[in-house]
Amino acid sequence: MLLLVPSATYRASDFLDAARALDLEVIVGCDEAPVLIGGTRFLKLRLDETEAAAEAIVALDGLTPLDAVVAVDDQGTLIAARAAERLGLRSSHSDAVAATRDKARMRQLLREAEVSQPAFAVLSPDAGASELERLTRVVGLPCVVKPTTLSGSQGVIRADTLAAALAAVERARAIVAKAGAKPGRPLLVEEFVGGPEVAVEGVLTNGELAILAIFDKPDPLDGPFFEETLYVTPSRLVANDLSAVALATQAATRALNLTEGPVHAELRVHKGRAWVIEVAARSIGGLCSRTLSFGTGMSLEYLVLAHALGRPVDSLRRTPGAAGVLMLPIRKRGVLAGVDGRERALAVPGIVALELTIARGRRLVPLPEGNRYLGFVFARGDRPEQVEVSLRAALAELEVRVQPERPLRRRAVGR
């Protein structure tokens, strides 16, 4: 199996643990050799060059026949689909995966299939104030300005007025440029949909969606930025709302022509309907999958790899009980000086683990410019209410110390 692993991912070790549990021979494809792979074979790939990377994987298959190509995070999903398509391996069609990586294309396909979603308009790269004013009349205010290619809520900004929308567009364009996206990309201007938001984790087989978990996001995500904090499962939505969420997610995957592999979707429940916000052809990001366990203790990564190989699993049923994760937010720009109170947080009843993912001395960049979390706190309990209480109590014990960034000193130039 070839695993496509971005160098900045949190998830390499969890996927490699799953591969070992499945007794797989793994090759890691990455732009640089990750420190976590140990003796695992390594294929150097540029994950920002889709065609070249797919060709390199096909060439690798000529030397070492591959049984599956799996992307760990968003950056590799299209490469994996293109390579799998050419090699006849299990995967959704690359055009379908490409649509999940282009939010404007995704919105258009969902609209054609009449899937419930926010009203939207595409703002061209050279559009000015008059065009934005026209589009805000189409989608209404408040609206959400969103890059079409970034993930993790990076560059996503709510605007309540036209003036705020103009400022959001300029800020989002700067974020896109700094993130290294290809120039000339449009932005989305979307209707803001209120109501509770949930995340859906599922797996597709021949186009049929099996729901693995639905997470509540108890903290309101009303903007101006959309930093996620708490995920708790099982969801506490009423049965009718849960059914609407499942049906809307399946309708979205069909509209996008996704047929195989993991799906992560985000939806809002508003006015009795489930509104599709995002669909990704991958499993849940960060370390959030550690909240999930299936059957006799299988991890989500185990299920993803087994599915890619066509291997049966004993059960897709989630382990009984409630679980949740706190994604430690970055509230302030600067340099991380330390995180105090970790022992107290771990002593909170229900807390089972805490992992920091940014080292002391590293820069902290909050949303909307940033795209990382400081760390993850995990909790388990009998009921989702207990899990939420535990996570909030743990957060209250943590104190993040941030130092100002030192300005760069300019070296004097001699005559």
Supply the DSSP string of 194-260, one letter for each residue. -S-EEEEEEEEETTEEEEEEEEEE-S---SSS----EEEES--S-HHHHHHHHHHHHHHHHHHT--S
Domains of the chain: 2-99 (3.40.50.20), 119-191 (3.30.1490.20), 322-408 (3.90.600.10)
> What digits encode the pLDDT tens for the residues 244-282?
999 999 999 999 999 999 999 999 999 889 999 999 999
Asked if pLDDT for residue 8 goes beyond 80, the answer is: no
Distance, CA of 97 to CA of 42 (rounded, Å):
25
Residue 38 pLDDT: 60
For 278, the 3-state DSSP assignment is strand
| Alpha carbon of residue 203 to chain centroid | 15
What size, in residues, is the chain?
Answer: 415
State the average pLDDT over residues 298-306. 97
Give the C-alpha distances (Å, rounded to integers) separating 59 from 27, 64, 90, 299, 363.
Answer: 14, 9, 18, 31, 39
Residue 106 pLDDT: 98
Q: Check: CB of residue 45 under 8 Å from CB of residue 79.
A: yes
Look up tokens 């976590």; give the residue.
Answer: 36
Structure tokens at 117: 């979603």
Asked if pLDDT for residue 377 goes beyond 70, the answer is: yes
Q: Check: CB of residue 132 under 8 Å from CB of residue 143.
A: no
Q: Picking from 140-144, 290-294, 410-414, which range would have the lowest pLDDT averaged per residue?
A: 410-414
For 105, the 3-state DSSP assignment is helix
What's the pTM? 0.93
Asked if pLDDT for residue 322 goes beyond 80, the answer is: yes
Asked if pLDDT for residue 51 goes beyond 70, the answer is: yes
Distance, CA of 175 to CA of 146 (rounded, Å):
11
Give me the DSSP letters along 284-319.
--TTGGGG--BTTTB-HHHHHHHHHHT---S--PBP
Q: Tell how many helices (H) and how many strands (E) occur in the chain.
A: 11, 19
Residue among 107, 59, 96 at smallest CA distance from 204 = 96
State the average pLDDT over residues 338-354. 98
Upper half-sphere CA count for residue 315 (Cβ side, 13 Å): 10
Residue 351 DSSP label: E
Q: Check: CB of residue 274 under 8 Å from CB of residue 268.
A: yes
Percent of the chain with pLDDT over 70: 96
Distance, CA of 224 to CA of 156 (rounded, Å):
8
Asked if pLDDT for residue 36 goes beyond 60, the answer is: no
Sequence-separated (6 or more) residues with CB below 8 Å from residue 193: 118, 268, 270, 275, 277
Distance, CA of 372 to CA of 336 (rounded, Å):
13
Give the C-alpha distances (Å, rounded to integers) separating 293 from 192, 282, 320, 324, 406.
Answer: 34, 17, 9, 12, 44
Residue 415 pLDDT: 42
Look up tokens 């209707």; give the residue.
Answer: 191
Q: Check: CB of residue 190 under 8 Å from CB of residue 103.
A: no
Residue among 22, 79, 84 at smallest CA distance from 259 = 84
Q: Which residues are paired to 326 by β-bridges?
A: 230, 377
Give the C-alpha distances (Å, rounded to integers) separating 383 from 139, 290, 316.
Answer: 39, 17, 20
